[in-house]
Amino acid sequence: MTNQKISKKVSTTIINSLSAGVVPRIGLEHIAVGREKEIQSLLKNIQDISEGIAAFRFIIGNYGSGKSFILQMLRNRAIEQGFIVADADLSAQRRLAGSHNEGLATYRELMIRLSTKTRPDGGALISILEGWINKIQQEVAKETGLRPHDETFDDQVESKIREVITYVEDLVHGFDFGTVIIAYWRGYRLDDDNLKNSSLRWLRGEFNTKTEAKTALGVRVIIDDESWYDYIKLLAKFIAEIGYKGLLIFLDEAINLYQISPSITREKNYNRLLGMFNDTMQCKAENLGIFIGGTTQFLEDPNRGLFADPAWRRRTKESRFTNQTNIEEYMSPVMRLHPLSQNAILVLLQKLTEIHAVNFGYQQTLKNSDLQEFVKEIVNRLGADALLTPGEIVRDFMSVLNVIYQNPQITFSELIHSEKFQPTLVGKDDDLDEDDVAEFTV
């Protein structure tokens, strides 16, 4: 059992999220078991990113194997370590490219979800910019002895701001990006809310025409469906220069790219993804990490998956050595999540049992033998050959705990052996989130 203290807010979030079949955004450390090698490999990636390197990883597994959980855990750890992070779920409306600004929609969602340690739930763009400006003002005051109302103080601040801008101006679209950052500073300096808001709208990709952007900010370009990834690279470079360790982008539900019906549109998205992959793996980007969650089908389907493209197949197929020797390799671009042991499942159920008891204030009475009985019943009903994943177990187990708590006259054994108990089988046609929970020790 876990001896970690847990607040009511965290325990309630865990219970409500897992009962609904989704990954909680907080408290993941309380339910993490197994996957030590996987998470250590990903932590090595973010260490590299902090040193100016770029990284790209696929997290691939069957439905319910824990892709979303691992992405969320890595996101939380990165925030604590001083990274800026942004996450989005791909969908029919949010892709990497499209004919109706689907790629731009993904960019806009990422900007909404931009998060820092002080703003972990998104909406951090303003605090990033103003925190940076405040830091420069403090540096100028310390170095020169000037005060904010002194005549040359703002000129000194702008000079330091321009020093940072020079580091991004040589990148694609860097000059216009720098112009907008300077415009935001001038709006801040002059207390001009219209100028600040226009700068923020441009950075969030909210201008619809170049004419509108030129009138508001004096720039001749806007962030659009073709260029949005270039601005992700610019943003990563910029935030590294202003004191953060880097930018991590998390894109989940990549199965939605696989499900695009028109082959031309699907291939356009795969090509955009390939460009992102090549940029990061060849270090054409700096301080940028891209982590993609997807199913085995999305990766390996020879007709519609990434493997349909020889370029993708060459970059992402498993090594012949791991195939022949059944040895895992955790440093390749593709991290595959395999079923965990029954012992790991039991540890996870023990943690959930304790959290449920603490949250509702009762003395938990379930023993390890009860949990083993539950797992055995799941195996019996799904079939001995079924691959047990947390997603197939956790939601059912949370339901069992809720029912027993609300109906104390029913015993645990009676409930799980009831003919009406039908375990949830997570599959490609299931309506649940594809990654209910994962398992690894931090």
Written as six digits, the tokens of 63 are 């439905």
- pLDDT given at position 320: 64
pLDDT of the residue at 2: 47
User: Given this model, what pLDDT does residue 377 score?
Assistant: 83
Tokens coding 57: 């990883």
The model's pLDDT over 377-423, given as tens digits with 9 standing for 90+, comes to 877 776 645 556 777 788 889 999 999 999 989 888 888 887 766 66
Strands 288-294 and 55-61: parallel
Band (pLDDT 50/70/90 cuts) for residue 34 is confident
Burial class (CB in 10 A: 0-12, 13-18, 19+), 409: exposed
Q: Residues 292, 298: contact at Cβ < 8 Å?
A: no
- Name the pTM for this structure: 0.88
Q: Which helix (H) or strand (E) holds 291?
A: strand 288-294
- Give tens-digit pLDDT for 247-279: 999 999 999 999 999 999 999 999 999 999 999
**What does the buried/exposed string (b/e) look like for 324-354 if buried means 16 or more CB atoms within 10 Å of the residue's CB?**
eeeeeeeebebbbbebbeeebbbbbbbbbbb
Angle of helix 368-382 relative to helix 390-406, nearest 10 degrees?
120
132-185 pLDDT per residue, tens: 999 999 999 999 999 998 989 999 999 999 999 999 998 999 999 999 999 999
Strand order in 247-252's β-sheet?
84-89, 247-252, 288-294, 55-61, 334-337
Q: What is the number of other CB atoms lying within 10 angstroms of the CB of residue 48?
A: 16
Does the pLDDT value for residue 3 go beyond 70?
Answer: no
Quick: pLDDT tens for 272-323.
999 999 999 998 999 999 999 999 999 999 999 999 999 999 999 876 666 5
Side chain identity, residue 235: L
Give the C-alpha distances (Å, rounded to integers) separating 340 from 16, 24, 66.
Answer: 24, 20, 10
Residue 285 in contact with residue 236, Cβ under 8 Å? yes
Query: Domain residues of the chain, as ranges?
Result: 49-338, 342-416
